[in-house]
Homo-oligomer: A and B are copies of this chain.
Amino acid sequence: MLVGAIEAGGTKFVCAVGNEKNELLERVSFPTTTPEETMKQVFAFFDRFELAAIGIGSFGPIDVKPDSATYGYVLSTPKLAWKDYNFLGDMKERYDIPMGWTTDVNAAALGESAMGAAKGLRNTMYITIGTGVGAGAIVDGKILEGIGHPEMGHLLVRPHEHDHYKGFCPYHGNCLEGMAAGPSIDGRLGKAGKDIDPTDEVWDFVAYYIGQALEAYTVILRPERIVLGGGVMKVPGMLEKIKTQFTTLLADYVPVPAVDDYLVTPGFGDDAGITGAIILANQSVEK
């Protein structure tokens, strides 16, 4: 049995085919342009296979409420060509098979939880800190979605006393994403993070904000492990800085696993999302 998988990111799409063991067999990748152009490439790829189901992890915000009139749509994204696009509807029209539908970070959380760095655990999280901040949680083995999918990057954080940057989030200014995602580095120093020395104090600020967020996720969700990915995590020493901040801020209030087991890097590297989408496809067959 073959299943399809899409990791729809804001800059590129990955489409893949996997099997019932959640193994990735074949993949393609292309830039995210307009729905018309991009979906043509999606269909060209999947048309070649006989698929039992497709799993989709999409950039957001998206509508994940099955009883909503706009279920399956991309919502008010800054990528205007995709705003109000009926992604799942167009997929269903082309392929009348079961489909799983969630966010790209939820798919990555599922991938890491089922087969990656959080394998075997029932309560886990995945957070990515890159051009934005997104996170997904697995609660009791299932993707956490209430009235909609989480937007955990928009947690409000305390400004660091030496950080005078006001944040770039158009909604909240200095929320986690506004203060710790990639554009905040450029916003403070006028150049990209890759051009900033790893010893620059800006990385201490970023670690302080991520540490606060991890404290919040910990006291609210009590996960067994948190997987941290994305471009900002590739800065040398970043994970260690975050561990120190988190440990200081939590102040031993609730028991967590040893910090080296609790805060970890992805087991799949950049493949967590597409792997999660394959798992999602297989789960939707079982339903």
Residue ranges of A at the interface with B (Cβ–Cβ < 8 Å): 61, 123, 137, 139-140, 142, 144-159, 171-172, 212, 215-217, 219-224, 249, 251-257
Contact = CB atoms under 8 A, between A and B. Distances in A.
A61 B254 contact: yes
Contacts of A220: 137, 150, 152, 155, 216-217, 220-221
B139 A123 contact: no
Q: Number of copies of this chain in the oligomer? A: 2
A142 B150 CA distance: 18
Given A221-B220, A254-B61, A249 B156 contact: yes
Contacts of A217: 220
A259 to B, nearest CB: 14
Contacts of A257: 147
A147 B249 contact: no
Which of A139, A223, A249: most chain B CB closer than 10 A? A139
A123 B152 contact: no
Given A146-B224, A147-B255, A151-B222, 4 more contacts: A146-B223, A152-B219, A155-B215, A158-B158
Contacts of A221: 144, 146, 150, 220
